[in-house]
Amino acid sequence: MEIEPMAVSLRPFRISDADDFLSFAGDDRVTRFLRWKTLASREEALATIRDVCIPHPWRRAVCVGDRCIGFVSMWPGSGDDRCRADIGYGVAREWWGKGVATRAVRMALSQVFGDFPDVLRIQAFVGVDSKASQRVLEKAGFTRDGLLRKYAYLKGNLQDLYLYSFLSTDVVPAD
């Protein structure tokens, strides 16, 4: 059952999110398609929030109520790459299939175009096997630009990746 769209919100990470953060960043099923090492302890979760999530150029906790159940990140380019930002996201396993990631990506799009006026394109690199992620991007209005063959390693395995993009002039589909 899809979650009520208004129930999902984005906010900056807090140190107090450590237990919730560990519940998904410590889950191999969530980190499988991410470059993240699966976290093994509350101490690692605390250190990652303090040293990575809070200083990150743009990373938000995806929340239901005030509880952190996932993340969405953007990496804006600089210099001649300032026209674009890369997006990544993940949601705790117990929340999969309820529309949470699609809602979070849609919210992140409008916020990032507002926060970084030079950014005109948001792009995502997605493994060919990462079907749920491809579907999230399609539901959020991204266009598949093409297939990048043998483009990068993920956890030791060379990957074919799809490149998706969303332009500031594109329309975010309604819920």
Ligand X SMILES: CC(C)(COP(=O)(O)OP(=O)(O)OC[C@H]1O[C@@H](n2cnc3c(N)ncnc32)[C@H](O)[C@@H]1OP(=O)(O)O)[C@@H](O)C(=O)NCCC(=O)NCCS
Contacts with ligand X, residue ranges (CB under 6 A): 30, 33-34, 88-91, 95-102, 126, 130-133, 135-136
Dihedral angle, C-alpha 27, 29, 20, 25, nearest 10 °: 60
Nearer to ligand X, 48 or 102 (CB): 102
CB closer to ligand X out of 118 and 175: 175
Cβ closest to ligand X, residue 67 vs residue 118: 67
**Could you tell me the smallest distance in angstroms from the CB atom of residue 53 to ligand X?**
16
To the nearest whole angstrom, how small is the minimum distance from the Cβ of residue 7 to ligand X?
13
Separation of alpha carbons 61 and 16, rounded Å: 12
Shortest Cβ 174–ligand X spacing (Å): 14
**Least distance to ligand X, CB of residue 80, Å:** 25
φ, ψ dihedrals at 70, nearest 5°:
180, -170
Amino acid making up residue 106: R
Residue whose CB is less far from ligand X, 118 or 135: 135
Residue 59 pairs with which residues in a beta bridge? 73
- Pick the closer one to ligand X by CB: 118 or 146: 146
Question: How far are the Cα atoms of 11, 12, 21, 28, 151 from residue 48, in angstroms, in the given order?
Answer: 17, 14, 9, 16, 27
Write the CA distances from 1 to 39, 45, 47, integer angstroms.
29, 30, 35
CB of 2 to ligand X, least distance (A): 7
